[in-house]
Amino acid sequence: MSWFDQGWGLSLTVFLPLVGVGMLLLIPKSQERLIKFVALGFGLASFAASILLLFRFEFGSSEAFQFGTDLTWIPAIGSNYHIGIDGISLPMMVLSTFITVLAIVYSWNHWPDPHNPKAFLALILLLATGMAGTFVALDLILFFIFFELVLLPMYFMIGVWGDRTMIRLPGFKREVETRLYASIKFFLFTLFGSAFMLLGFLAIYFKSDPHTFDIVALHQAGSMGVFDGTYGMWVFAALFLGFAVKVPMWPLHTWLPDAHTAAPTVGSVLLAAILLKLGAYGFIRISLPILPEQAQTWAPAIAILAVIAIVYGSLACLAQTDMKRLIAFSSVGHMGFVMLAISTLTEAGLNAAVIGMVAHGVITGLLFFIAGSMAHRYHTREMARLGGNQTLMPIMAGILAFTAMASLGLPGLAGFWGEFMALLGAFNPLAGLSLGVFRTAMVVGAVGTVLTAGYLLWMLQKVNLGEPSEEWLGKDLHDADRFELAAWVPLVVAILAIGIWPKIVFGATEGAVANLIKTAFGG
Amino acid sequence: MTTLLGLLALAEGGEHAVEVVTDPGGFVGVLADFAWLIPVVPLLATFAIVLVGKRLPLKGWELAEGAIGFVAIYAVALLIANWVTPMAVEHHIEISRIGSLPGLGDLVLEWGWVVDGLSIMMFTVVGVVGFFVFTYAKGYMEGDVRFTFFFASFSLFAGGMLVLVIAPNLIQLIVGWELVGVASYLLIGHWWEDHDNNAAAIKAFITNKIADVGLFVGVIILGITVGSFRITDVLDAVARHDSALAAVAFWAGLGLFIGAMGKSAQMPFHVWLPDAMAGPTPVSSLMHAATMVTAGVYLVGRMFPLYQTGGMADDVKTIIILAGGATLLLTGLIALVQDDIKKVLAYSTLSQLGYMTAAMGAGAYTAGLFHLFTHAFFKGLLFLAAGSVIHGVHSNNMSDMGGLRRFMPSTYKTFLIGSVALAGIFPLSGFWSKDEILASLSNDASHGGGAAATLVLVLAILGAFITAFYMTRAVYLTFFGEYRGDGHPHESPRVMTYPLWGLAALAAVAGFVNIPGVYTPFTEWLASRIHVMGDHHAGGLNWALALIGTAVALAGIAAGTRLFRRDAATQAERDRFRIPVLYPLLEHKYYFDDLYLNGIVGPIKGPIARFVVWTNQVVIDGVVNAFGAAARFASGYVYGWVDQRGIDLAINVVAAGAGEAGGVVRKAQTGKVQQYAGALFAGAVLLVVGFLIFS
């Protein structure tokens, strides 16, 4: 299996979906059944490769980049095909292949208009390559390409299969379809950030000596202070814009509620579960180790923005009437906890960030699945019209209640660890960071957990409880079908398993995180 | 055996550690090693009931009953073992290292179990009272729409509560703490077709969540400062007067106590408990009287040396004793004016929790937990008896009852036993525990407790009068006079009355395990712990206070009898009871609910949340959309000299690459994205060049 361990395993994980895209393009559009099986096959193959990597991963040295390869790619600028995974990227990569398979399974009998499974599945597989690629790339140019690769399929997914409700924007004369506004906003916002990110990458390249895009080499250079000073300050700012839009951090988040709400169900799931993580992952993989000094300067600002996001996102949720938009806004708050954790620059913090991302991926992914299935049946997402779902569809309602409990950070379920340890890290941030700022952030963040519990319980009350409204009587509302359960039960199991035995994630991250903190910050 | 468990833990990827202070050895040692089954069995029962409960002959009840019966037997076995030879054993299984702390080493997450006097006492209460309540609930919930789900939630509660009391570290304690919170939420809202019940459930959860901010902050402070979440490590640091801990101990202790105030419903967090009566009565009995609400008192007891050691969190004790004092008197007064029999008992529970808290604040570890112990039996009993009454007359209101002693003899007799025990009449259990609290308060008042302890002692004596008074009122209104309700009241089935008699027996005799100066095994049970408690409970029987307490209680009974013994005839006299100002104040529960709802929750859900959305849609998105509009305006000028064909070509290539999607998308495109993207990239290139030149 040496070929597998030396780059092929990772390459298969990343590029099998892309091969799948090619295959799909060759199959006539009318062969829907074949198309579905081919897409599922490639999704499963990629997932299987990532699971095999998981089993072969050397957890004892999770700080080392494993299964890697480093091939000359664009010699003119010294950019290599350098890939590899450590304990931080491993959980993220497995999460991305896992969610991709579930998205395909769920799609089996859920096709948003205008149907066209061939194009839809091709886009999912293209996304899968971009997502997994971002987590394994160890070269800035390669990272950038994968990072941008996800933009396009998501843009089409929202723009073509999205919500067609007409909205009128302030300052514009004509009404537009929600999907158009949301997809363009998503595209441009991210592009705006990416432009600065690319700028930052170039600036890093030109400052490094010898010029290189290699992330591992740059980690070394970064820990020796090559990028210190005002120059590094601007570079950090540029990268910050790129990553912060993707996370998204307050106040760059406004694309998120629109994009999530307008996207088809599977699009929302992939957006929430994986795409949001790319930004936070960028902070951990690139900004912190390459620019450690600047990270310490910026940390209090990030912490403040993060707690604003926690409180602001939760308050915004309290005022929502649309179930899907509520779940979308909840991501703002949850990613706020992830960013608060990262800003502490501590082991506890980065461990919290990774488990927080994994947990948010499985929990919010599941919430979007359920919200989509409910909208599919009720043809509305207005919570005021729902109610009594527990009577009408007990299984779906039960899973919704379970997931909402996980989302509000119930101990024993996945969401707790990221939230609690983010607060733990904030009590004791990296030496030299302002205790006043971080301890205030800890208390404000803890208050945010109350608001989080508030909006989720109110959502459950409005949607699940009470007597069903008259308008649903006699309607054919069938409970979760087997494709839905096939997509959801694995997520329920993951939520429970990570909650009871967090070592599933920490086992991979603890060594890698300790090494990162030690190299970058000497702690 | 320990080695076996260790291997098991290592196979799971964790490290197994045992701390043994007193090794019981032999069979008892095996019992202690396997005590992890105590929380695990009810939790497994929960899963089993959810998955297969509906298909079983007794619809899942047998699984719940079997699990709680197992806990009861295991707990009693441990109790007897501990009675013979005091023991204190802890097991820890490491599940993760989450980060290192300078000078303190690694911070570790663990699951574990502690088997010592305090945890065994709690297992016994949960197991034994739980067993009676689960049995009773089979009759009470018969025919309920969600019979199976009820027992799943009830088992979840039992499991969560046992996770909490068996926890040797603070993280696991939080896990149990929140699990019981969820079970409470599910069970208060058991009849969720009615939104009033849902509102009560949410209120309970959110109120506790607010208090949990304190608990979380306290646990984080302790964990980071000591470098370990293990309670023994924290108490070790307390015992060696660790200076780093001393610097933050006040805040940590206060944080934990705020958490305790939420769970144990101390003022001003008490508002959720009366509303929690919306749940089925067995829930009120087991969770909202006997066990769950005592978790806060248990927490203070578990962390007792932190509060008792000078230089640590001992200043918090003043806050604890005052919170307890205020709660025991003020909530007791509200019980006087309630018509709903469950609300009378709920306010009584608040008041009794105030007694326990006040005892803890007075440094009387044994007294506080002894009252927890006896209260679990007599208050659990009172709720079950009230449930039996409600079952018989189909109403919660005492104005619909009356004369029931003729229709429901077993219920009447057991309710009377519970009432007399609660009123603190010799020789029933409440007498012994309440007297011990009074004696401890007096002891504290003369040993550095100062004015606060003296004040609370006076309040506690007044409280004894009020307790006797409202219970007398409840007994007369419910069981004497003429029946005022509809239909024909009937005695409950035996599946309900047998548990009543079981609890009545315990409520009568439970006090004998701690007769000051004569026979005090209870004190020794609780003392078998790894750390010395530094308990300040009174040694011998305080005759003067015992007499005063009894006299006051008898006076309360006399007053209650005078006002309420006959029916309509004394209406004029009863009206005299409606004291101006005080009576409306009590009826409105001191306006706490109005303040919280209109002053805090309303504004947050209403104007504040709307303002945030307005900021989002109008201010932030206003900027975003303005950028879009400006770009479109600018593009009109750029249009002429940007190579439109080139960009279009690029887009077409991309579209082709994305397969047929492009064809569909082209229709959707407004033709603006390319321009934006082009302008952005052009800008980015300019910035790169400028940046490179600039630096």
- For residue A523, how many other CB atoms are within 10 A of its CB? 17
Nearest CA distance, A315 vs chain B (angstrom)? 5
List CB contacts (< 8 A) between A172 and chain B. 625, 629
Mutate to test the interface with A, among B46, B196, B220, B617 (most CBs of A within 10 A): B220
* B 8-37: CB under 8 A from A: 12-14
- Cross-strand bridge partners of residue A167: A176
Quick check: A31 pLDDT over 60? Answer: yes
Share of chain B above pLDDT 90, in %: 42
Q: Which residue of A has its CA nearest to B219?
A: A424
Q: Is B17 helix (H, G, I), strand (E, B) or coil?
A: strand
Residue B348, pLDDT score: 94
* B 132-191: CB under 8 A from A: 171, 174-175, 177-179, 182, 185, 189
Place of tokens 């970064």: A222
Nearest CA distance, B453 vs chain A (angstrom)? 32
b/e A286-325 (16+ beta carbons within 10 angstroms → b): bbbbbbbbbbbebbbebbbbbbbbbbbbbbbbbbbebbbb
Could you tell me how far CA A61 lies from the centroid of its own chain? 26
Q: Provide the 8-state DSSP code for A431.
A: T
- For residue A237, how many other CB atoms are within 10 A of its CB? 14
Contact A501 B182 (CB under 8 A): no
Nearest CA distance, B303 vs chain A (angstrom)? 20
Quick check: A502 pLDDT over 70? Answer: yes
Residue B666, pLDDT score: 45
List CB contacts (< 8 A) between B630 and chain A. none
| Residues A363, A360: Cα–Cα separation, whole Å | 5
Q: Encode pLDDT of A188-228 as tens digits.
A: 888 888 989 999 999 999 888 888 899 999 998 888 888 88
Nearest CA distance, B689 vs chain A (angstrom)? 9
Residue B109, pLDDT score: 87
| Residues B597, A307: Cα–Cα separation, whole Å | 25
Quick check: B25 pLDDT over 90? Answer: no
Residue B511, pLDDT score: 87
Helix (H) or strand (E) holding A72: strand A66-74
Place of tokens 């025991």: B328
Contact A442 B217 (CB under 8 A): yes
Contact B99 A198 (CB under 8 A): no
Q: Which of B508, B474, B329, B458 is nearest to B402 (CA)?
A: B474
| Residues B240, B116: Cα–Cα separation, whole Å | 22
| Residues A80, A212: Cα–Cα separation, whole Å | 9
* A221 contacts A290 by C-beta, under 8 angstroms: yes
B425 or B679, which is more confident?
B425
* B 641-680: CB under 8 A from A: 654, 658-662, 664-665, 668-670, 672-673, 676-677, 680
pLDDT band (50, 70, 90) for residue A142 = very high
Q: Encode pLDDT of B73-114 as tens digits.
A: 999 999 998 888 888 888 888 888 888 877 777 888 888 999
pLDDT band (50, 70, 90) for residue B539 = low
* A91 contacts A497 by C-beta, under 8 angstroms: no
Q: Encode pLDDT of A75-97 as tens digits.
A: 888 888 999 999 999 999 999 99
Average pLDDT over residues B330-351: 90
User: Is the CA virtual torsion B129, B134, B136, B140 positive or negative?
Assistant: positive
List CB contacts (< 8 A) between A453 and chain B. 205-206, 209
Share of chain A above pLDDT 70, in %: 99
Question: Where in chain A are the domains?
Answer: 2-521
Residue B594, pLDDT score: 84
Nearest CA distance, A114 vs chain B (angstrom)? 9
| Residues A287, A296: Cα–Cα separation, whole Å | 11
List CB contacts (< 8 A) between B665 and chain A. 156, 159-160
Nearest CA distance, B200 vs chain A (angstrom)? 11
Contact B609 A169 (CB under 8 A): no
Q: Is A263 helix (H, G, I), strand (E, B) or coil?
A: coil
ipTM of the prediction: 0.90
Q: Encode pLDDT of A443-484 as tens digits.
A: 999 999 999 999 999 999 999 888 888 888 777 788 888 899
Average pLDDT over residues A302-331: 92
Q: Encode pLDDT of B247-261 as tens digits.
A: 999 999 999 999 999
Q: Which residues contact B228 (CB under 8 A, 6 or more apart)?
A: B104, B107, B108, B169, B234
| Residues A155, A180: Cα–Cα separation, whole Å | 9
Average pLDDT over residues B402-417: 89
Q: Which of A320, A461, A514 sits opposite B100 (nearest CB)?
A: A514
Least confident of A274-288, B103-117, B512-526, B669-683: B669-683
Q: Which residues contact B212 (CB under 8 A, 6 or more apart)?
A: A449, A450, B177, B178, B259, B262
Strands A66-74 and B16-22: unpaired
Residue B572, pLDDT score: 55
Residue B668, pLDDT score: 41
List CB contacts (< 8 A) between B198 and chain A. 461, 465-466
Least confident of A109-118, A359-368, A429-438, B368-377: A109-118
Average pLDDT over residues A141-158: 91
| Residues B441, B358: Cα–Cα separation, whole Å | 8
List CB contacts (< 8 A) between A416 and chain B. 175, 178
List CB contacts (< 8 A) between A405 and chain B. 182
